[in-house]
Amino acid sequence: MLTQLRIRDFAIVEALELELAAGMTAVTGETGAGKSILVDAISLLLGDRADSGTIRHGAERTDISAVFDLDALPAARAWLAERDLHGERECHLRRVIASNGRSRNYINGVPQPAQALRELGEWLVDIHGQHEHQSLLRREAQRQLLDDYAGNSTLVVELADHYRNWNRLRQELRDLRQASSERDARLDILRYHLRELAALNLAEGEITELEAEQRYLANASQLLDTGQRLLSQLSEGDEDTVADRLTHSLRELDTLGRLDARLTPVSELLNAVLIQVQEASGELRSYVQALDLDPEHLAQIEQRLTAAHQLARKHRLDAAELPALQARFEAELDTLEHSETRLDELQQAVKTARAAYQQCADQLSERRTAAARELGERVSQALVGLGMPGGRFAITLEHLEKPTPGGLETVEFQVSANPGQPLRALAKVASGGELSRISLAIQVITARAARIPTLIFDEVDSGIGGGVAEVVGRQLRTLGGNRQVLCVTHLPQVAAQAHQQLKVEKQTDGENTHTQVASLATEERVTEIARMLGGLELTANTLAHAREMVEKAALSTIDGED
């Protein structure tokens, strides 16, 4: 539900801030005052095309923002959560249009493209009388509304699940059949490749071990020569080894230490170094003695590595990936060798899934057919009371040749606005006033099932008056019993039925023109409706009539008509 609307420097609005309530709100004012500016601003906020012409003369930019209560809109909250835009129970939208025509758009403070505003707007507001936000003109929305009216929500979800399962099994069957048609050739290729891989018999991680061992054996001579030379320098040479020098230094320090005890720590450090050198020599000796100069073993390893790399190049992968390739080939071979059994199983599974889909689709078609007939009759009856005598409304279900996730038929709303005229698609109805009244009739009848919480009617009273206007007003008031309804109107019969009323006034100081919107108290409503009844000159009779209209509408609420 729309709870707040802020407009700055839009058209002839300098600054405007409105708190909006549930129920029916009438927007009234003199001709030319700019009553539709609120509708235009909301349309712009919900992603309509923006241009610099919307900016108030003399201003640099237009800034429009709104707050929506999402407490009863789990689908909108889910949409926001999927995009990490979720807040608490409210959603804040904002659009800023600069003088160069560019716009910046925000959802809960996060910059978003205009398309995101349009997508979210589909859950928040439905503007009747303007085609841009008229959800009832879309085939998908018509099908959804019919299903909601018929209580088909669970069945629709079940049908989509059946379709996905059937489609998945069909794809698996197609893949297996294609593989089966090439089965013999593929089996020969797989068996040939597996014989090569089995002959190599390369273990997981073996390539790394072979490469490390090859490096070791290829450099064994250098390791042996250098190791022996270092061992000779450390402790096993004929003369002047590191160990010999350290031993000689320790003897001299012992002699000096008897003369000056402060040299004792130096002697201890050198003794520790000598021990370390001796231990290092022992480790190096063991390493040199264990070195294996085995040219034949080296040749075997290099031959195995060469074979592995050649086979890997053949399959265009790294040699280390050959064991995994062998496992994949073995799995594919097993699948193909047992494909006949799996083919039979899949064929039966596809038949079962198709039958389950068909059963669910048939049930859904029956419910849709019954609901379409009932809803068509109820809307047709409502059109008579809305000033369209002889008007007919029907919902046609056209059978589809191919199954779809949404069922076996398309749904189309059709209408004949005048006697003798054929039924035509609702989307092709030319008159905005007729379209608004048709939409009103549908919305009132399906109000409990409808998803969008805020409805705006901009041309609902076009071309009507008298008793029909009062019927329209009552219908809107009834709709406002469980939806938020904003109605721009010039008819007092409609405005009197509202739960609350906004008055739009255009003011000028001779140089600049401004539009202001005020929320009217009860007495102010009486005066405004009297003006709508009798023009500028308000008489006692006009005021009394206006008061009676407002009080009568209020009493209808107390009596339970809402």
What does pTM read for this prediction? 0.60
Q: Over 60: is that where the pLDDT of 130 sits?
A: no
391-421 confidence digits (pLDDT tens): 899 999 999 999 999 999 999 999 987 888 8
Task: Identify whether residues 188 and 328 lie together within a single domain.
Answer: yes
For residue range 376-386, list pLDDT tens digits in order: 999 998 888 77
In a domain, 391, yes or no: no
Asked if residue 430 belongs to a domain, the reply is no
Calpha distance 410→364 (Å, rounded)? 12
Residues 54 and 193 in one domain: no
Q: Report the chain's terminal Cα–Cα distance, integer Å.
A: 19
Q: Which phi and psi (to 5°) does residue 27 adopt?
A: -110, 115
The parent domain of residue 83 ranges over: 2-130+452-520
Asked if 126 and 203 sit in the same domain, the reply is: no
pLDDT bucket at 435, cuts 50 / 70 / 90 = confident
In a domain, residue 468? The reply is yes
Question: CA-to-CA distance for 48 and 257, rounded, in angstroms?
Answer: 98
**Identity of the highest mean pLDDT range in 234-243, 268-277, 506-515:** 268-277
Q: What pLDDT does residue 526 have?
A: 94
The arithmetic mean of pLDDT across residues 36-46, rounded, is 90
**Per this entry, what is the length of the chain?**
562
The first and second tokens of residue 464, run together, are 């009507």
Residues 338 and 358: their CA atoms lie apart, in Å, by 30
Secondary structure string (H, E, C) spanning 309-348: HHHHHHHCCCHHHHHHHHHHHHHHHHHHHCHHHHHHHHHH
Q: Residue 300: is its pLDDT beyond 90? A: no
| Residue 230 in domain | yes
* Number of structural domains found in the chain: 2
Both 34 and 116 in a single domain?
A: yes
Domain contains 176: no
Which of 337, 369, 395 terminates a domain? The answer is 337
Question: How do 484-488 and 23-29 pair as beta strands?
Answer: parallel
What the block records as the tokens of 452 is: 């969008």
What would the pLDDT profile of 58-103 be if each residue is shown by its tens digit? 889 999 999 999 988 888 888 898 888 876 788 999 999 998 888 8
Query: What span, in angstroms and rounded, lies between the C-alpha atoms of 74 and 344?
Result: 44
Report DSSP state, residue 57. T
Last residue of a domain, one of 337, 363, 396: 337
pLDDT tier, 431 (very low <50, low <70, confident <90, very high otherwise): low
Give the span between the Cα atoms of 117 and 44, in whole angstroms. Answer: 9
Inside any domain, residue 561: no
Mean pLDDT, residues 353-372: 96
Q: Does residue 131 carry a pLDDT above 70?
A: no
pLDDT score for 394? 94
* β partners of residue 8: 15, 63
Q: How far apart are CA 506 and CA 508, in angstroms?
A: 7
Task: For 487-515, give one letter per residue: b (16+ CB within 10 A) or e.
Answer: bbbebbbbbbbbbbbbbbebeeeeeeebb
The answer to whether 361 and 159 are in contact (CB under 8 A) is: yes
Q: How many Cβ atoms from other residues are within 10 Å of residue 536's Cβ?
A: 6
pLDDT-derived band at 558 (thresholds 50, 70, 90) equals: very low
Amino acid at 427: A
Closest CA to 386 of 447, 466, 486: 466
Helix (H/G/I), strand (E/B), else coil: 539: coil
Cα separation, 118 vs 114, in Å, equals 6
User: Do residues 126 and 219 share a domain?
Assistant: no
Query: Could you tell me if residue 550 is inside a domain?
Result: no
Mean pLDDT, rounded, of the chain: 86
Instruction: State how far Cα 407 lies from the chain centre.
Output: 24
CATH number, domain containing residue 58:
3.40.50.300
Q: Look at residue 420 in the predicted model and tell me its pLDDT.
A: 81
Closest CA to 408 of 174, 154, 156, 151: 156
Residue 333 sits in the same domain as residue 230: yes
12 shares its domain with 79: yes
Q: Same structural domain for residues 109 and 224? A: no
Question: Same structural domain for residues 210 and 109?
Answer: no
110-112, strands of its sheet edge to edge: 13-19, 2-10, 61-69, 90-98, 103-107, 110-112
Q: Are residues 200 and 300 in the same domain?
A: yes
Rounded to whole angstroms, the Cα distance separating 344 from 37 reads 66
Q: Are residues 126 and 211 in the same domain?
A: no
Residue ending a domain, among 520, 539, 556, is 520
DSSP state of 55: B
In this structure, is residue 307 part of a structural domain?
yes
Do 414 and 425 touch, CB atoms closer than 8 A? yes
pLDDT at residue 126 above 60? Answer: yes
237 and 99 co-located in one domain:
no
What is the DSSP secondary-structure string of 99-111?
Answer: TTS-EEEEETTEE
Half-sphere exposure of 512 (CA within 13 A, CB side): 11
Query: CA-to-CA distance for 382 and 388, rounded, in angstroms?
Result: 9
Highest mean pLDDT: which of 160-174, 198-212, 230-244, 542-556?
160-174
pLDDT of res. 132: 42
Q: With cut-offs at 50, 70 and 90, classify the pLDDT of residue 445.
A: confident
